[in-house]
Amino acid sequence: MRNVSHFYGSGTLRKQVLFDVTCDIWPGEIVIMTGPSGSGKTTVLTLAGALRSVEHGSMLVLGQELNGAGHNALVRIRESIGFVFQAHNLLESLTAAQNVQMSLGLSTVSRREVRERSLAVLEAVGLADRSTYLPSQLSIGQRQRVAVARALVRQPKIILADEPTASLDRQSGRDVVELLRQLARRQGCAVLLVTHDVRILDIADRIMRLEDGRLSSFGSVASPFAGHLLTVLAQVRDKEHLWLLMEQRDEKEFVDLLKTMGGEVEQLLNILDLGGRESIRLLLDNLIDIVLLKISNIIDADAAGLFDAHGEQLRNVSHWPSWPKREIAARVGQTGEVVNVFGSDLGEGIQSVLCVPIRNRLEEINAIAQFVNKKTGIPFTVADERVFRDFAAPLGFILEGWQRVKQDSKGRY
């Protein structure tokens, strides 16, 4: 956005609600916009979402200038944006799955793929077992999750969320914003979230404050709760935008920015000083082993290992029994689903094997973690699968770093 202003009404009733708003939001970044009611926050969202016409200033969304854009161009932009609002706006006569499918109804995707993608995204938001429920049969938090699933099913490049947690309790609100955070991190999706909810400010890379239609200086506050400044700066590709970030800060803001940058760079240098690439590789080796062992203890497994999608072992955390792990790994690699395998054919005394895909930031399967239960004779349960899901995403980041360090033959990071 560059010097965007906006007016409502005409003649003597004409009122200006936005004044020269200028900001940038980058792929993979989560920006929270706060401010009192009536400050223009929702107007910013509707302009960015191509729901209103931009008449004063410049707004570039996914490379498309919205000021003066025609109807077809605005429609194309909206197709790349996911909208989440305070009111879930579900159609009461449709099931959860059908509400999600509505978002794909006019696309060129086949009916089969529409069903598959809808069920997959409902599973991702924890509602696979509620896909046939009507909105009236769901809690308020579950309805909002369906609304999030509806926004995510098109795999948008931008998410615009207007008070998505306002009607939710603390835990339900946290679940919703965590889903949005995962999308931003894994798919490089930009998230602009308008909220009054101070309980969720910690997810932000930046917090912007809009008051009386005026935005505080660019990047107004680097969130005091999140150490993502270097991540944000890494998205600034050219000197012009970096200068914009610096130019509009007053002396105090500039000093605070430098201190924050200095602190994060110091942490990076401290890690590099520990011994370079070999030390980082050893750290990640040990970290992966310890994490898998800890998860094994939590779900009472007596063996754990990490395999690639072809069944080749990457890490052997504990004694691994001799059974056809290639076939199990292939099943997980093909379906991308959690597979709980039962049967004595897997080896003497083995009752249950839990296989879980570990994904990278592109949502591709990085590896498969497998846990064996043979001593207790008690099969793994759905609850065990849920426990592991809590660990799968962060383990994916660790594993991706481990693989990059191992593959970098020149020792660069």
Q: Which CATH number fits domain 2-239: 3.30.70.3270, 3.30.470.20, 3.40.50.300, 3.40.50.1000?
A: 3.40.50.300
pLDDT digits (tens, 9 = 90+) for 13-44: 899 999 988 888 888 788 888 888 888 999 99
- CA 407 to chain centroid, in Å, comes to 26
In sequence order, the β-bridge partners of residue 97 are none
Q: Is 40 left (phi over 0), alpha (psi -120 to 50) or beta?
A: left
State phi, psi for 67 to the nearest 5 degrees: -70, 115
- The pLDDT-based confidence of 134 (bands split at 50, 70, 90) is very high
N-terminal to C-terminal alpha carbon distance within the chain: 33
Secondary structure class of 286 (helix, strand, coil): helix
- Computed over every residue of the chain, the mean pLDDT equals 76
Is 192 a residue whose pLDDT tops 90?
A: yes
- CB under 8 Å to 278, separation ≥6 — which residues? none
> Has domain 277-406 been given CATH number 3.30.450.40?
yes
8-46 burial, b for 16+ CB within 10 Å, e for fewer?
eeeeeeeeebbeebebbbbebbbbbbbbeeebbbbbbbe
Number of H helices, E strands in the chain: 12, 17
Query: Which of 341, 339, 388, 392 has its CA nearest to residue 367?
Result: 392
- Separation CA 30–CA 202 (nearest Å): 10
Instruction: Provide the pLDDT for residue 61.
Output: 92
Q: What's the mean pLDDT in 193-204?
A: 81
Is 161 a residue whose pLDDT tops 70?
A: yes
Q: Mean pLDDT: which of 45-59, 164-178, 182-196, 392-406 is highest?
A: 45-59
Instruction: Provide the pLDDT for residue 353.
Output: 75
pLDDT digits (tens, 9 = 90+) for 349-400: 555 777 777 877 666 777 777 777 766 566 777 777 777 777 777 788 788 7
* Positions of CATH 3.40.50.300 in the chain: 2-239
- Separation CA 204–CA 181 (nearest Å): 9
Q: Are 411 and 276 in contact (CB under 8 A)?
A: yes
pLDDT digits (tens, 9 = 90+) for 61-110: 988 999 989 999 998 898 889 888 877 788 889 999 988 888 876 666 77
Query: Which of 320, 321, 316, 325 has its CA nearest to residue 289?
Result: 316
- Separation CA 275–CA 273 (nearest Å): 5
Distances (CA, A) of 74 to 81, 215, 394, 405: 11, 25, 37, 43
Q: Are 184 and 165 in contact (CB under 8 A)?
A: no
Q: Which residue has the higher pLDDT, 254 or 3?
A: 3
Instruction: Provide the pLDDT for residue 274.
Output: 62
- Separation CA 83–CA 81 (nearest Å): 6
Q: Residue written as tokens 């890379």? A: 205
Of 113-127, 148-162, 231-245, 327-341, the one with minimum mean pLDDT is: 327-341
Q: What's the mean pLDDT in 149-171?
A: 83
Instruction: Provide the pLDDT for residue 193.
Output: 92
- Separation CA 193–CA 185 (nearest Å): 15
Is 50 a residue whose pLDDT tops 90?
A: yes
* Positions of CATH 3.30.450.40 in the chain: 277-406
Is 409 a residue whose pLDDT tops 70?
A: no
- The pLDDT-based confidence of 60 (bands split at 50, 70, 90) is very high
Share of the chain above pLDDT 70, in %: 75
- The pLDDT-based confidence of 290 (bands split at 50, 70, 90) is confident
